């Protein structure tokens, strides 16, 4: 058994370690209310694979039926946001403390209130600063998310080795504080290694479905970027990279005017709450990006299949016809595999 990469002492025996904190992405509604951890449903999208659904142990069957019957290929057998044996139980328990600080200081009630009273407006967006939240703990939480995604290889993500080692040392130093679990968000603590972070969130009015927002992580280093539900996290290796970053981030970098806004965020525990219009625009950009990638992937698959079956490359019009028939069969309730097979058979109609 390998050793925990944080404490370096205990075996990494913890199962179901969440790379992305579950409170950021869970959206649960049951007959008993909302927020029950074991009753979860999530959606995972990636450009070259099917959309998949993960259902937790307590989801009611009638709720699943409302979505239509799911094929075996569409159901994740394991939650896609967690890995076994990444760290030890003690360090995972302390990570949950960092998550609790963030979840408490930036809960929905506080964020809705900040928008309602138009507190600290910056252009069309709202800056919510938690004055009783040590910025070192705030930054360490963000660092820990990217660290977990890196050691768990979430969607193939990797931090640079130097950054990963430094974050591990930050966590090790923090977790060695006596009675760490008894700390408050405002307690004294300093980071050995700092990385500029920017945290933003969509403003989603009460009662509006938050599950429409996807989960995606960038493989760029300038900056490291994660969109998780309504939340967006950016982390830079050096402050100088903020002015030179060229990543689109689905329109977020332009919307936030990152080089201009960062001085207002530095050395503070601040979340940028995007205006509803900006949030919807960026959310739609993410969806369209993945749809476009999926279409490119599908067209490539269709060309390969056509070439294998008929021994010649199809014209673009034929590819478009097969693609159109594929979506027709999907709407009829066919699985993705059967829909593609039927779409190819439809060539006989031409």
pLDDT at 204: 76
pLDDT at 88: 98
Q: Are residues 127 and 158 in the same domain?
A: yes
pLDDT at 180: 95
Report the distance separating Cα 270 and Cα 163, nearest Å.
Answer: 23
Domain total of the chain: 2
H helices present in the chain, as ranges: 22-25, 61-66, 89-105, 108-116, 135-151, 161-175, 241-244, 252-256, 258-265, 276-310, 316-331, 336-345
Residue numbers of the domain that contains 336:
284-349
Q: Are residues 177 and 312 in the same domain?
A: no
pLDDT at 87: 98
- Average pLDDT of adjacent 10-residue blocks, the chain of 350 residues: 96 93 62 39 42 41 41 52 93 96 93 87 92 98 97 92 98 97 95 98 72 71 89 95 82 90 95 92 83 82 88 90 88 81 89
pLDDT at 213: 58
Q: Are residues 113 and 260 in the same domain?
A: yes
Q: Are residues 232 and 116 in the same domain?
A: yes
Position 34 in a domain: no
Position 79 in a domain: no
- What is the distance between the terminal CA atoms of the chain, rounded to a whole angstrom? 60
pLDDT at 26: 61
Among residues 255, 274, 293, which one ends one of the domains? 274
């Amino acid at each position: 058994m390998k050793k925990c990469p944080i404490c370096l002492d205990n075996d990494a025996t913890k199962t179901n370690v969440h790379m992305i904190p579950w409170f950021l992405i869970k959206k649960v509604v049951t007959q008993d209310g909302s927020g029950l951890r074991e009753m979860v449903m999530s959606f995972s999208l990636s450009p070259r694979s099917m959309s998949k659904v993960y259902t937790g142990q307590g989801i009611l069957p009638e709720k699943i039926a409302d979505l239509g019957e799911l094929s075996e290929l569409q159901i994740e057998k394991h939650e896609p946001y967690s890995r076994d044996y990444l760290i030890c139980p003690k360090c995972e328990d302390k990570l949950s403390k960092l998550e609790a600080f963030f979840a408490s200081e930036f809960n929905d009630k506080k964020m809705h209130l900040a928008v309602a009273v138009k507190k600290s407006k910056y252009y069309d967006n709202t800056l919510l600063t938690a004055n009783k939240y040590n910025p070192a703990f705030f930054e360490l939480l963000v660092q820990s998310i990217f660290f977990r995604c890196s050691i768990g290889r979430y969607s193939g993500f990797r931090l640079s080795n130097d950054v990963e080692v430094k974050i591990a040392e930050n966590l090790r130093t923090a977790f060695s504080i006596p009675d760490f679990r008894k700390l408050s968000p405002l307690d004294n603590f300093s980071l050995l290694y700092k990385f500029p972070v920017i945290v933003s969130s969509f403003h989603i009015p009460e009662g509006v479905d938050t599950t429409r927002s996807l989960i995606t992580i960038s493989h760029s280093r300038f900056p490291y970027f994660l969109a998780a539900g309504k939340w967006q996290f950016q982390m830079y290796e050096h402050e100088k990279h903020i002015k030179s970053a060229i990543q689109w981030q689905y329109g977020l970098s332009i919307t936030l005017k990152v080089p201009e806004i960062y001085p207002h965020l530095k050395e503070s525990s601040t979340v940028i709450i995007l205006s509803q219009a900006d949030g919807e625009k960026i959310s739609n950009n993410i969806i369209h990006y993945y749809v476009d990638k999926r279409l490119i992937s599908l067209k490539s698959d269709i060309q390969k299949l056509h070439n294998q079956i008929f021994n010649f490359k199809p014209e673009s019009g034929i590819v478009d016809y097969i693609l159109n028939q594929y979506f027709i069969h999907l709407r009829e309730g066919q699985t993705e595999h059967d829909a593609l097979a039927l779409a190819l058979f439809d060539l006989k109609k031409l």
